[in-house]
Amino acid sequence: MNTANSEKLYEKACKLMPGGVNSPVRACRSVGVSPLFIKSAKGSKIYDEDGNELIDYICSWGPNIFGHAVPQITGAVKSACDSGLTFGACHKGEIELAGLIRKHFPSMEMLRLVNSGTEAVMSAIRAARGFTGRDRIIKFEGCYHGHSDGLLAKAGSGLMTHSIPSGAGVPAGCTADTLLARYNDEASVEALFSEYGDKIAALIVEPCAANMGAVPPKPGYLQFLREITEKHGALLIFDEVITGFRLSDGGAQKYYGVTPDLTTLGKIVGGGMPLAVYGGRQDIMECVAPLGSVYQAGTLSGNPCAVAAGIAQLKLIESTPDLYARIDESAGKLHSAMLAAGLNANRCGSLLTVFFTDKPVTDYDTARACDTGRFAEYWRHMLDSGIYAAPSQFEAMFVSYAHSDEDIERTVQAIKQFAR
């Protein structure tokens, strides 16, 4: 595959940006290649600066559940742009989007629009601390909740990809109140509540972990988290930045039937634009300024162009009754092909990951044990076969409504060829 133009662009980018990228995993260092520079995208395909066409399973890391350049969404954004890019003031689109979100996530009785998943999680934790008057937070090893200082301890995503156990530049004091538990392990959670129970403000979890690769919760685990947090007066926060509107129109909480106190959303809810949300029980959210003393603000929060994209995407979800059945079926075909080829793979709805290990991957330690060199070989084979997937063992594939039967079959054949 010719990548001459991308390589030239990457050389220029490296002189201007750290690693030549604006988000670390994009550098493709763990798979031993230079990153592709994308020129355009449409439907299930992306096109790079050298004219290569690729079937895209990154989908901008999740937002593009209907694929790229969806007319209903791009049209809504263009129309919003014509009315002004940003107001720094209230507008009725915010009300419409908030209403759509609450319709599908009734646990979010009151919510606030922000600009990124990191910001949403940071704000939700601040609200939890303000509401409970407690400081400590439980997070899980391998779960990634954005790059705010207190949550980088043994986080997933790019930190696992680049073998960074915790981010440099984070003072010890910033993580002093962050307690680490093992995902899918009840005993580690019980031990923390036994020691710190009346000091724990909240437990935050990716209800289906997707930043150490796709790692579903074992049966009953989320309900266990719900019960133990209630027992100790701590709040349960679901980080649904990835799973929200992906596993179902009501996210993981509808998919698994467990209701959190606070929820964070991102990616799909913004329709491909920078937008995220945090919200939950009304009594908690009323602690947020200007009603309460928990302060959070944002110059571009509720940006009209991003809000327009979010409204258009959520309305498209509502008008596509076969959305989840179709993307789950497509993901199921890929998962079956991986297993039939002798590969180890996890799937949660339309999220899936191939793990290069002979043991089940259920948590951070079993994910870290994977052969990343073998994954790099697999990734390069898939790229040469015209398949664009996340360049990291510790990320998920995203299946979209735009992926055709032909796309899925071509991907299945590429998987089979790798295993030969």
Show which residues are catalytic: 144, 239, 267
Measured in whole angstroms, how far is the alpha carbon of residue 42 from the centre of its chain? 22
> By three-state DSSP, how is residue 237 classified?
strand
Given a contact cutoff of 8 angstroms between Cβ atoms, the answer to whether 397 and 352 are in contact is yes
Q: Which residue has the tokens 């079959």?
A: 409
| Beta sheet of 397-398, edge-to-edge order | 344-348, 351-355, 397-398
Q: Could you say which DSSP state residue 392 is in?
A: S
Q: Could you say which DSSP state residue 215 is in?
A: B
- Alpha-helical runs (H) found in 357-404: 364-368, 372-384
Pick from 292, 397, 245, 184: which is nearest to 263 by CA?
A: 245
Q: Which residues of 352-362 are buried (b: 16+ CB within 10 A; e: fewer)?
A: bbbbbbeeebb
Q: Which residue has the tokens 């949403």?
A: 120
User: 221-231 vs 186-196: helix axis angle to the nearest 10?
Assistant: 10
